[in-house]
Amino acid sequence: MTQLWPAPFHPEPFTSTVVVPGSKSITNRAYVLAALASESSTLVGALRSRDTDLMQGALEAMGVEFAVDGDTLTATPGQLTGGTVDCGLAGTVMRFIPAVAAFANGDVRVDGDEQARARPVQTVLDALRDAGVDVEGDALPFTVRGTGLAKGGRIEMDASKSSQFVSALLLAGARFDEGLHIVHTGDRVPSTPHIEMTVEMVRAAGVKVETHLTEWIVHPGPITGGTWVIEPDLSNATPFLAAAAVTGGTVSVPRWPGTTTQAGDAIRGILERMGAHVRLERYGQDNTLTVTGPEPGELQGIELDMGDIGELTPTVAALATQASTPSELTGIAHLRGHETDRLAALSAEITALGGTCEELDDGLRITPADLHGGTWHSYADHRMATAGAIIGLTTEGVQVEDIGTTSKTLPGFETMWADMLNG
């Protein structure tokens, strides 16, 4: 039986500094580029979590060697081999690894958690088939029959369910004989900052990439090794900043980048619109972001298209339950295919605690209501678990089921949460 975590009830203001580990999104992209590079690469400050450990394990299963020295990791690529990959519930592993496996000499079989088998992956598998790769299966488990090379060329696909389909091909595109010309044919691509992040990193690895509104051209050529310095994970920082907003407290996060492609950076503008005081200040070589929440009862609701920043939805939904006016979060129909159906899950859990949350075709409408304690289910979803922790700060008696699922991207979350409240 999964244990329940009593979410700390702490409605009083507090002041704390929270050091956030490295970005999962940047870490796993750097892993893939290092595996496909022509020489060794170094990752500084890489996140260690379930998702990133699964990515490392997947690449090790295909012959990449890793050496760790403190917070520095060295990846040494070579001829990739066949192997068996466990992707857990990690979308980046499930969707990025098939394109890497195309260049293995041998079969790469990919499987994962039971819940992962419902996550969309066929789009990237079909795209690889169109690029000359032999793939068996359309969902987990599937097998990529690598031959060490692949033709590439023009690929048309519908990436409206996940930007990761595009990123997967961008990361490996230069290894294809003809490169890749990726053409998106469907509705809006969600989470475009993640594609921008991928393009920036691929270019930093010496690859020529051309971008258009719905097309990306990756030219063939070597992927160079180098040093990747990993930024803090800004999406993982958002629950701590939200804690300041709902309590009227103050939370500072060091090493906040001045410019970044991380979607989590959008939390600055969101919190300002909801009534918090937000400032980014430079201290020495780094920036520190500090958020101070408004007085009790003065947090405002928000109307927001979150199509590009869907991963922040659980945090913003938790904030919205504490606001004094209604909120409407839209553009996030694609969240139905994340670790769980996040729209259904948030609506169910907020309602179960006495809140008013209406599920829309592409989002949520949240109307302020007095909440009460109860069990907040996590659905094995790390961001659902942290949303429950935020609500528990001002709602006594909230118990979060399976808080340990936060180890997917942020191991030790419970300790960090307690340390934050203790200043």
Structure tokens at 228: 């990747």
Question: For position 395, what pLDDT does the model report?
Answer: 98
Average pLDDT, the chain: 96
- Residue 384's pLDDT band, with cuts at 50, 70 and 90, is very high
pLDDT of residue 423: 80
Please give the pLDDT value at position 370.
96
Res 273: pLDDT: 98
Evaluate whether 4-20+233-422 and 24-219 have a shared fold.
yes
pLDDT digits (tens, 9 = 90+) for 108-127: 999 999 989 989 999 999 99
226 DSSP β-pair partners:
none
Q: How many residues does the chain have?
A: 423
- The answer to whether residue 1 scores a pLDDT higher than 70 is no
Q: Please report which confidence band the pLDDT of residue 283 belongs to, taking 50, 70 and 90 as the band edges.
A: confident
Q: Are strands 41-44 and 65-69 parallel, antiparallel or unpaired?
A: unpaired
What predicted TM-score, i.e. pTM, was given to this entire model? 0.94
Q: How far apart are CA 229 and CA 35, in angstroms?
A: 17
pLDDT digits (tens, 9 = 90+) for 312-371: 999 999 999 999 999 999 999 999 977 789 999 999 999 999 999 999 999 999 999 999
pLDDT of residue 339: 73
**Domain 4-20+233-422 bears CATH identifier 3.30.70.240:** no
DSSP letters spanning 313-367: HHHHHHHHHTSSS-EEEES-GGGGGSSS-HHHHHHHHHHHTT-EEEEPSSSEEEE
Mean pLDDT calculated for residue range 392-409 = 97
Residues known to be catalytic? 311
List pLDDT tens digits, range 254-281: 999 999 999 999 999 999 999 999 999 9
Residue 93, CB-side half-sphere exposure with 13 Å CA sphere = 34
221-245: pLDDT as tens digits: 999 999 999 999 999 999 999 999 9
Q: Give CA–CA dist 403/392, Å, rounded.
A: 13
Which architecture characterizes domain 24-219 according to CATH?
Alpha-beta prism (3.65)
Structure confidence by residue, pLDDT tens digits, 198-228: 999 999 999 999 999 999 999 999 999 999 9
Domain spans of the chain, in order of start: 4-20+233-422, 24-219
Q: Which residues, 6 or more positions from 14, have their beta carbon under 8 angstroms from its beta carbon?
A: 247, 249, 250, 420, 421, 423
Whether the per-residue pLDDT at 402 is higher than 90: the answer is yes
